[in-house]
């Protein structure tokens, strides 16, 4: 943990009084009814967390993964997940599992299950929404450079990696998935170790700019990711007709805080309510300097191009992919700021830009019925769960999400 150190590309205090930021601040105050500016101590704690990583998991990676290799270490972890930690297991593995099995006092199981249920309710709309808003993060080097260096989301790998992320969402949000022995806990552990392995290798990369970007896959950026699964869709998907309440959004924030904790995301400060979450997202817009350059553009384009048909696709598959490509272009144009859409040179959605808005009346009507009739609520929970699983299964084909760190970087 680094005290007082802030990345040079964290420009919050330099940008705070610009005319653009003043306009954004006034607009958010008008819409949400509160000033989005956070106290400076919260912003500073978040800024300094760009130098915070995951020391407990890093000890295991350093002692085992980097010595015996990823395959041997993964086998050790899988055995521990299935049967418990062996008596002769390394101390670092014991500490890692002991931490994951200890529930912090702040965890409220009722809120965790409610938050997971609300998250599931968004169904496949969550996949499209999250894919679109992630492109905004690609403006910043701390987000884009790890993906560009590893090649994890470039070119043809972009869709595979996104589908693995969607599989992760499904695993952690199933009912009781985060209980001891639950599938969500196991998946969180696998993703945690993948991130730590990649971080260790990126830290040794000669082109990693520690002074400008902080540590790779930092607690700072991870905190924004947790907001991207809770506060942001809670309000953002209202434009599609979802009627998510303040209580439900705060439950999603609680759910993702617990998921994050299991993944080693244990930030110095976490928003206590939606007002503070709004402040964090405002600060994330203020602090940016948009210096990811060609890497950000390539990542954004790769995401959309991964949905497009290829010359090798048979006619039926090509038709299905053309439809999917159009739908995703529509979602991206709807949820990504126009300035970012233009900066990355993303293709025009054409008439597909109307598709998200056309769904809103039907979703709003269904939401109204769901809120009034408990049986409809139960039906929709089951329906949304089934739809998301089928969405991922059909696109992954016979493959399974494996959450392996890439063995070879592309640069």
Give per-residue pLDDT as tens, 258-297: 999 999 999 999 999 999 999 999 999 999 999 999 999 9
Give a yes or no: residue 125 inside a domain. Answer: yes
**What is the tally of structural domains in the chain?**
1
Q: Is residue 17 part of a domain?
A: no
* Tokens found for residue 188: 């969180």
pLDDT at 2 (0 to 100): 58
Within-domain flag for 406: no
403 in any annotated domain: no
Query: Whole-angstrom Cα distance, residue 142 to residue 10?
Result: 10
Burial class (CB in 10 A: 0-12, 13-18, 19+), 305: middle
What pLDDT sits at residue 31? 95
Lookup: tokens for 334: 């709807």
Residue 16 resides in a domain: no
Q: What is the DSSP code (8-state) at residue 65? A: I
Q: In this predicted model, what pLDDT tens digit does every residue of 176-231 receive, in sequence order?
A: 999 999 999 999 999 999 999 999 999 999 999 999 999 999 999 999 999 999 99
CA distance 173 to 37: 31
> Tell me: the pLDDT tens digits for 350-389?
999 999 999 999 999 999 999 999 999 999 999 999 999 9
Torsion of the alpha carbons at 230, 236, 238 and 239, rounded to the nearest 10: -160
Q: Answer yes or no: is 4 within a domain.
A: no
**Residue 319 is assigned to a structural domain of this protein:** yes
Angle at 123 between CA 117 and CA 126, to 5 degrees: 100
Contact status, residue 328 vs residue 131, Cβ threshold 8 Å: yes
- 8 A C-beta contact, residue 232 and residue 281: yes
Residue showing tokens 């560009």: 148
Give the lowest-confidence range in 129-133, 152-156, 323-327, 338-342: 152-156
Q: What's the pLDDT at 406?
A: 73
Per-residue model confidence (pLDDT) at position 411: 64
**Structural domain for 334, as ranges:** 51-396
Residue 239 inside a domain? The answer is yes
Instruction: Give the tens place of pLDDT for each residue, 108-128.
Output: 999 999 999 999 999 999 999
């Amino acid at each position: 943990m680094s005290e007082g150190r802030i990345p040079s590309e964290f420009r919050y205090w330099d940008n705070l009084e610009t005319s653009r930021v003043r306009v954004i601040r006034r607009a958010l105050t008008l819409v949400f009814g509160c000033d989005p500016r956070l106290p400076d101590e919260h912003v500073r704690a978040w800024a300094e967390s760009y130098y915070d990583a995951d020391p407990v998991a890093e000890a295991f990676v350093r002692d085992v993964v980097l010595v015996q290799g990823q395959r041997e270490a993964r086998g050790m972890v899988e055995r521990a997940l299935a049967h418990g930690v062996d008596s002769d297991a390394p101390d670092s593995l014991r500490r890692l599992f002991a931490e994951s099995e200890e529930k912090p006092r702040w965890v409220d199981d009722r809120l965790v299950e409610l938050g997971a249920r609300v998250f599931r309710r968004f169904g496949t709309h969550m996949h499209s929404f999250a894919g679109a808003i992630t492109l905004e993060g690609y403006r910043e080097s701390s987000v884009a450079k790890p993906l560009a260096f590893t090649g994890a989301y470039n070119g043809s790998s972009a869709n595979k990696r996104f589908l693995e992320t969607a599989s992760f969402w499904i695993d952690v949000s199933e009912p009781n998935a985060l209980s001891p022995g639950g599938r969500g806990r196991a998946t969180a552990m696998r993703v945690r170790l993948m991130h730590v392995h990649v971080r260790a290798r990126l830290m040794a990369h000669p082109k990693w700019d520690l002074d400008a970007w902080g540590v790779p896959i930092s607690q700072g950026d991870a905190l924004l990711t947790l907001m991207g699964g809770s506060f942001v869709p809670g309000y953002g998907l209202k434009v599609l007709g979802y009627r998510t309440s303040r209580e439900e959004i705060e439950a999603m924030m609680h759910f993702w805080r617990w998921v994050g904790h299991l993944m080693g995301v244990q930030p110095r400060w976490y928003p206590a309510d939606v007002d503070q979450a709004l402040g964090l997202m405002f600060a994330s817009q203020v602090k940016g300097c948009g210096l990811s350059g060609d890497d950000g553009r390539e990542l954004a384009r790769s995401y959309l191009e991964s949905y497009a048909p290829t010359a090798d696709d048979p006619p039926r598959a090509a038709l299905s992919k053309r439809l999917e490509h159009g739908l995703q272009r529509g979602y991206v144009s709807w949820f990504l700021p126009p300035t970012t859409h233009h900066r990355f040179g993303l293709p025009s959605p054409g008439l597909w830009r109307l598709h998200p808005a056309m769904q809103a009346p039907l979703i709003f009507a269904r939401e109204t019925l769901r809120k009034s009739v408990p049986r409809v609520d139960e039906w929709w929970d089951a329906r949304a769960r089934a739809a998301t699983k089928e969405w991922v299964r059909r696109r992954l084909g016979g493959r399974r999400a494996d959450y392996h760190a890439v063995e070879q970087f592309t640069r």
